[in-house]
Amino acid sequence: MRNLFLSATLAVSAIVSSGAAQAADLPVRTYTKAPIVVDPVYNWTGFYVGANLGWSFGRSRTDVTIAGAPFASTSQRMDGILGGLQAGYNWQSGRAVFGLETDIQATDQKGSSSIVDFIPGTPGTPAIPCILFDPPAPACIIGTGIPAVPGIPAITGIATYQNKLPWFGTFRGRLGFTPADRWLLYVTGGLAYGEVTTSETLNVNGAVVAFSTDRTRWDGR
């Protein structure tokens, strides 16, 4: 029994010695420092496209002329929903950003106003008969008869105007500055164009006349 225990002890010692020898033959593990992660700096250079939806406020002015002479003027608010698409390109140099942008918008902007004008009439005058004499036949003495003068009726005129802006677009330049990452302060300006529709209704003593004009206008600033 003692011999068996001694043999087992020698076998365990041999296995441990063999494992220690093999561990000594392994290469020494070296420590590698993790690389430093640096966030990339945001750059505004490149193309972009987008969509927008919002509400627009504005005013419209209508000047009325008769035979080329100024007659009246009116203005009205033009409010409504709008939505559209825009696209552009930016160049960034240091903290400066230069860009070009164009957009097209469809709108429901409209406004209306009315002008009421009243011109009082003038009463007419009755005729004054001429002075007659008998012989040789009934006749008027020259210069004694005055014909009637008809009166001029009063005139009530109501002019109603409705202006609409069905669509408009812009083409603009941009000059900006980036005070911090992903922040852009800029000014923009350029050309604006759009369709303006004006509907006019004129009611004079119950007689109604309606007409409309439609034109494309340009404005650069």
The listed range with the strongest mean pLDDT (82-91, 145-154, 161-170) is 82-91
Model confidence pLDDT, tens digit, residues 21-79:
454 555 666 666 666 665 567 899 999 999 999 998 888 877 766 666 666 677 888 88
Label residues 91-103 b or e (16+ Cβ within 10 Å = b).
ebeeeebbbebeb
Judged against a pLDDT cut of 90, whether residue 8 lies above it is answered with no
Tokens for 24, please give them: 């000594």
What's the pTM value of the predicted model, to 2 decimals?
Answer: 0.60
* Separation of alpha carbons 198 and 162, rounded Å: 6
* Separation of alpha carbons 165 and 144, rounded Å: 65
Which of 111-120, 131-140, 163-172 is the least confident region? 131-140
Say which residue, 135 or 42, is predicted with more confidence.
42
- Phi then psi for residue 129, to 5 deg, are -70, 160
Cis peptide, bond prior to residue 136, ω within 30 of zero:
yes
* Pairing state between β 185-204 and 207-220: antiparallel
* Separation of alpha carbons 10 and 155, rounded Å: 134
At 127, the pLDDT band (50, 70, 90 cuts) reads confident
Model confidence pLDDT, tens digit, residues 157-197:
788 888 899 999 999 999 999 999 889 999 999 999 999 89
Judged against a pLDDT cut of 70, whether residue 221 lies above it is answered with no
Tokens for 37, please give them: 């992660």
At 9, the pLDDT band (50, 70, 90 cuts) reads very low
> Other C-beta atoms within 10 Å of 50: how many?
11
* Separation of alpha carbons 173 and 85, rounded Å: 17
Judged against a pLDDT cut of 60, whether residue 18 lies above it is answered with no
**H or E stretch covering 13:** helix 2-25
* Separation of alpha carbons 218 and 169, rounded Å: 10
Q: Which residues contact 88 (CB under 8 A, 6 or more apart)?
A: 47, 48, 99, 100, 101, 102, 174
**Contact of 99 with 172, CB cutoff 8 Å:** no
Tokens for 106, please give them: 């469809």
